[in-house]
Structure formats: structure tokens, C-alpha cells
Amino acid sequence: MTALAWVIAVVALAVAAIAIVALRRSREVVEVAPAVEQPAIGPEVDALSAAFDALPMTAVLVGPASEVDRINPAALRAFPFLRTGVGVLEAFGDHMLASRVRDALASGEDDDFELKLFVEGRRTFRVQVVPFVVDGARGAVMTLQDATQAVAYQDLRSQFVANVSHELRTPLTGLRGMLEALEDPDLPPDMRADFVSRSRFETERLEALIDDILFLSELEAAQGDPSGERSDMGAVAHGVVDELQGEAAEQGVRLEVDAHDGLWTALTDRMAHTVVRNLAENAVRYAGTGSIATVRVQRAGADVQVEVQDDGLGIPEKDVPHVFERFYRADPSRSRRLGGTGLGLSIVKHIAERLGGSASVTSREGFGTIVTVTIPAARPPVTDVPGDAGMGSGARLRW
């Protein structure tokens, strides 16, 4: 919500509160002294009262003794246990909230703060308390807006920035040390060649890390069908396995494929290639010498299922729940040595979830790992074909 929207909401609440207090006092006067003719309550009072009830955020009218005078429907949906006639402390069970409300009533100054409350778990709320005075009596309008997701997102961003800084610092430190050593004119030729090779490796790793970070940011910026493109996951699997045969041979892993063409998803070619390659590359790098890794693509109901299974080293039980987290590595030293960025599986999961799919892993240490990605199937693309007998020159064939 923008600052302007907050100002408008607060002003509306204050006006509504004044009208409600005036309405309540008018009714009290009528009950106590019915012989005295009272002026009719204007329609604007009812309109403001209706506006208070219609507010989409939790709104509570607080009386001079810090008691709950009125609750709007949004408040009851968020806090079904609320009731009028009790103090703020009893209503919400939080001493900090009650204290801040009392201070705002006493000082007459607005207050704005964040607060954690136990509501369906521990959630974070942005609280605003706006005091007012009507006929010498103090009151306040208190609003609570659920900010749990926003706070979690900020924490995630801060953690992500810290992780990226750490991941960048490691190769940069190594590069700086090797470049300083290369300045030595007396450095032996074989050591110079080794440092140049290692510097190139660290540079490539930095490039891969930056590419993954940018790609992950692109994925988080949008949801749903990315572009209307279609990719044949079976064909992609065959291509990826061909690409990785050299690396698989170096690692002593036999890489196989079990897939047929025609298994379409609404992924771009880049996304489809990234999903299959990241999964297969992980198996090649971490299954262990003598292992067999199989890339399998098949139809599963309304979905296309990409599965990479190996009979290698497996993943320790404590690491299995974390493998899709950013920068998480079950074997950090081995991952860095092989050029891993720690973002591969996180990217795979983001791609799958972008289209309403899922990613999961099962593993048993010493018995191998299965990583499964499920993506909703898509219709085959419409293909342009040249005109021939029985078809016009602009005809289109739907496969």
C-alpha cells in the first residue's frame, strides 16, 4: 500500500470514528432524556459507519480506557476471537500492543509499528494507531495489516544478497591471489600455466553464477506461461544426454536416456534445456564413479514428468529437505571444485512451479537419488507447412 493510500485510509478511519462516537452519544441522549427533541442523525453518519465496516483491513475503534468499542468485519475474519467491551490487552493478549495504544491515547500522537502476534501461527502485522478527541473524550482508530509475506520476502532478499556476496567473494579472492602471483617474473612456467588455468576456471564459475542469478531473477519476475512457446521435453532430454557424455565419461558415470519425442510443455527452449541439464549434470557430478544415471521423460496423466535416477552415493538424510534451497550444497567442497553454483535445483523448482508444476527428491545414502520434476503438459505447437495438393499456400497444420 502506498503512503498516499495509507494517509487516505487513516483520514477515513478518523472521520468514521468521530461519526460513530457522535452517533453513539446521540443515541445515549435519546435514551436518557427522551423528552428532549434531538436533531435527526444525518445520512453521512450512516455512510461513514458503513465505510468503517467496509474497510478491507482490520480496523478497531478503541475507547478512552483502551477498551475495544467497535470491530469491523475484516477484523473478525482475521481475529475471530475479538469482542467488544474488553481491553486491548485482553482482546489481543499482547502487552506491547496494549502499551502502545495507551501511550497514543495519552499523548494524542499517531503511532506506527510492526508487531508479531500468534494468529494461525506467528504472523507479523503493521499496526497504526490514530488518536482523536470528540467532545473532550479521547479515542483511537487502530488498524492492523498482515505484513508476514512482505517481511519474509525482505528477509529472503537480505539472505540472498548475503549469500551472493559470499559466493562472489570466494572466487574473487582466489583470482586476486593468482593474479598477484602471476606478476612475479620469476614464477616457474609450469606454475604460471597452472595459475592461468585455475584463473580461467574461476572466471567461468563467476560467469555461470551471474548467469544463474540473473535467470533466477527473471523467473521470479513473472508467473504462468512464459511466452506461448512449446518445448518437446523428450527431444530435449536426448540432446542434453549427448552434450554430457564427455563429462560423464570423465566422472566415470554411465549416462542413459529413456524418453520419446512428442512430450510437450509450455516452456521456452532455454527453460526446458535448463531443467533437464541441471538434473542430469547433478547426477553426473555427484553420483560417483561406477554409477548409472538415467534421464527419463514420460507422460503422467495431464503432466509431463522428467525424472533423473542414479544408483550412486545418495544424499545424507539431513540434507534431503534442503536440496532445492538457494546455494545449499550437500558437499560444498566438491560442488565448488566441479564449478557448481548452488542454484541449479532452485532454478529447476522455480521453472516447474511457474507453470503450476512441482519438484521433489528422494534419496538414500549409499543407494542413489531420484529427482522428479512434474510440469503440466501442453498442446503441440501449430506448425506452418508449405501448400501442396489439397491445401492452400497459407494452410496451417495442427499436430
Q: pLDDT, tens digit, for every residue of 240-262? A: 999 999 999 999 999 999 998 88
More reliable by pLDDT, 26 or 381 = 381
- Rounded Cα–Cα distance for residues 96 and 116 (Å): 10
More reliable by pLDDT, 62 or 332 = 62
Partners of residue 374 on adjacent β-strands:
305, 358
pLDDT digits (tens, 9 = 90+) for 150-169: 766 666 666 666 666 666 77
Residue 124 is predicted with a pLDDT of 87
Q: Which three cell numbers stand for residue 322?
A: 534442503
pLDDT digits (tens, 9 = 90+) for 102-149: 999 999 999 999 888 877 777 888 999 999 988 888 899 999 988 877
- What is the CATH architecture assignment of 226-399? 2-Layer Sandwich (3.30)
Strand pairing category for 292-300 and 254-258: parallel
* Mean of pLDDT values over 69-89: 88
* Mean of pLDDT values over 347-355: 88
Q: Indicate the average pLDDT of the chain.
A: 78
Q: What is the CATH number of domain 3-146?
A: 3.30.450.20
Kindly report the pTM of this predicted structure.
Answer: 0.52
Given a cut of 80, whether residue 234 has pLDDT beyond it is yes
Q: What are the domain boundaries of the chain?
A: 3-146, 148-221, 226-399
What CATH number does domain 148-221 carry, 1.10.287.130, 1.10.275.10, 1.10.260.40, 4.10.780.10? 1.10.287.130
Given a cut of 80, whether residue 171 has pLDDT beyond it is no
* Mean of pLDDT values over 76-80: 86
Residue 178 is predicted with a pLDDT of 86
Q: Which residue has the cell 461519526?
A: 19
**Banded pLDDT at 220 (limits 50, 70, 90):** low
- Rounded Cα–Cα distance for residues 263 and 306 (Å): 10
pLDDT digits (tens, 9 = 90+) for 186-205: 888 888 888 888 888 778 77
Residue 374 is predicted with a pLDDT of 95
**Banded pLDDT at 329 (limits 50, 70, 90):** low
